[in-house]
Amino acid sequence: MKSNILKIALLALMFGAACFPLAAQAQDTDVVKSVRAAYAAAKEKIKLNATDEQTRNDAVVTLHHNVPATGPRTTVAHCYYELDTDENGAHYYPYFITLKYNVAARNFYEEYLFHPESGRLLFAFLQSDTFEGTKNEERYYFDDLGKLASVNVKGERTVGDADLVSRAEDYRALIPKFLDFSY
């Protein structure tokens, strides 16, 4: 009898352990679907932004500099944001940022999608040329709490999770400072 209970308990534990990854995978799939919907909504807003001068809330910065040992570099940062004003001035809430830049002959492209209310990173897309002439593509999906839920990499992974989030937050924080003319 004790042996049967132990076998049943062991079987239940094995079944639970087998189902846990499936439940986690289903949750990750839900996060990816949710992020893709937010991405589509942001892209639609950007499309409308480009056609309506009245509601245009974006900033483009182009930097040209010569970097020793790699040569000329051009960086184009494009930020789309919501603008709110009150008695304290203007408040900028970036929701989508793109960066396009080169290092020597290699080209890089990055996209960052932020949660509209919390400002947390929801999605990051990184694309880069490799030394072999192919492209790396990395997609990072985050849940509403900022936890990494899914990673899809074609090629090599080029950045760690913490560095990716830190970089995205730096870009997001920089834009409102750049646009603040309240001085």
- pLDDT tens string 49-89: 777 666 778 889 899 989 888 889 999 999 999 988 888 88
More confident residue, 178 or 23: 178
pLDDT of res. 27: 58
- pLDDT tens string 136-158: 999 999 998 889 999 999 998 98
Q: What pTM, to 2 d.p., does this model score?
A: 0.81
Residue ranges of the domains in the chain? 49-179
Q: Provide the 3-class DSSP secondary structure of residue 131.
A: coil
DSSP-assigned letters across all residues of 78-130? EEEEEEEEETTEEEEEEEEEEEEEEETTEEEEEEEEE-TTT--EEEEEEEEE-
